[in-house]
């Protein structure tokens, strides 16, 4: 059930065709599966392993390295509250405490309606805007307790349309305008990457 569905499998094949080595498509395919299920399931990892011709253990090794790939269910809106040094000094702990109270769940849990989950994260590189947080990796700066509640209410009522649901990060990547693409548009016309020669992998 949580393998890639037919539509995503078509996209997966398209992604695979962009790389000279199938293995290179591993991370884009993990994004694709997270887009489908809101998390990366074991079945999806097995499916990706088949597609890129590596073992499931190798997929898990890569997937588990990156925090943004979730291997457990998260809410539709995953809130990452920064508790790096700047945010910490400017009240990140208060925000975390407030989030726990206001959402009624502990860090890492999902609200009953399945909409929200939150966790404290290391510095998200927005120290000038402390205390800050991300909702599905979209920044919300200088949050107070009230602003946090307002944010949650807006998301719940569908009044905030800026932030897509969790896992839809990959959507933007699928719609890059051709003039904005980096490198040659056609794989065939590209010269082979330097590392391929250096590692003698194409021999």
Provide the minimum distance between the beta carbon of 138 and another protein in the complex, in angstroms, as a whole number.
Answer: 24
Provide the minimum distance between the beta carbon of 66 and another protein in the complex, in angstroms, as a whole number.
Answer: 8
Is the CB of 56 or the CB of 164 nearer to another protein? 56
Is the CB of 25 or the CB of 63 nearer to another protein? 63
Q: What residue ranges bind another protein (CB under 8 A)?
A: 42, 45-46, 54-61, 64-65, 67, 203
Whole-angstrom Cα distance, residue 55 to residue 2? 18
CB of 136 within 8 A of CB of 117?
no
Provide the minimum distance between the beta carbon of 79 and another protein in the complex, in angstroms, as a whole number.
Answer: 21
Provide the minimum distance between the beta carbon of 48 and another protein in the complex, in angstroms, as a whole number.
Answer: 12
Provide the minimum distance between the beta carbon of 49 and another protein in the complex, in angstroms, as a whole number.
Answer: 8
177: exposed, middle or buried (Cβ count in 10 Å: 0-12, 13-18, 19+): exposed
Is the CB of 90 or the CB of 196 nearer to another protein? 196
Q: Measuring CA to CA, which residue among 193, 145, 137 is closest to residue 168?
A: 137
Is the CB of 56 or the CB of 91 nearer to another protein? 56
Provide the minimum distance between the beta carbon of 3 and another protein in the complex, in angstroms, as a whole number.
Answer: 15
Whole-angstrom Cα distance, residue 142 to residue 159? 20
CB of 45 within 8 A of CB of 59?
yes
Whole-angstrom Cα distance, residue 168 to residue 62? 20
Q: Measuring CA to CA, which residue among 128, 109, 127, 126 is closest to residue 118?
A: 109
> How many Cβ atoms from other residues are within 10 Å of residue 129's Cβ?
18
29: exposed, middle or buried (Cβ count in 10 Å: 0-12, 13-18, 19+): buried
Is the CB of 26 or the CB of 163 nearer to another protein? 26
Is the CB of 17 or the CB of 55 nearer to another protein? 55
């Amino acid at each position: 059930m949580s393998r890639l569905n037919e539509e995503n499998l078509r996209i997966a094949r398209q992604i695979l065709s962009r790389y000279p080595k199938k293995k290179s498509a591993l991370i884009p395919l993990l994004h694709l599966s997270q887009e489908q299920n809101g998390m990366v399931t074991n079945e999806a990892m097995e499916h990706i392993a088949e597609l890129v011709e590596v073992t499931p253990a190798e997929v898990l090794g890569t997937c588990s390295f990156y925090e943004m790939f979730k291997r457990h269910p998260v809410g539709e809106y995953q809130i990452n509250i920064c508790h790096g040094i700047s945010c910490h000094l400017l009240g990140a702990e208060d925000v975390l405490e407030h989030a726990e109270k206001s959402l009624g769940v502990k860090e890492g849990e999902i609200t009953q309606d399945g909409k929200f989950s939150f966790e404290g994260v290391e510095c998200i590189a927005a120290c000038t805007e402390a205390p800050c947080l991300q909702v599905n990796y979209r920044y919300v700066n200088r949050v107070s307790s009230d602003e946090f509640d307002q944010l949650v209410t807006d998301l719940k009522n569908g009044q905030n349309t800026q932030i897509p649901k969790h896992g839809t990060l990959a959507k933007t990547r699928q719609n890059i305008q051709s003039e904005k693409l980096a490198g040659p548009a056609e794989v065939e016309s590209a010269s082979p990457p330097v590392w391929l020669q250096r590692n003698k992998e194409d021999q």
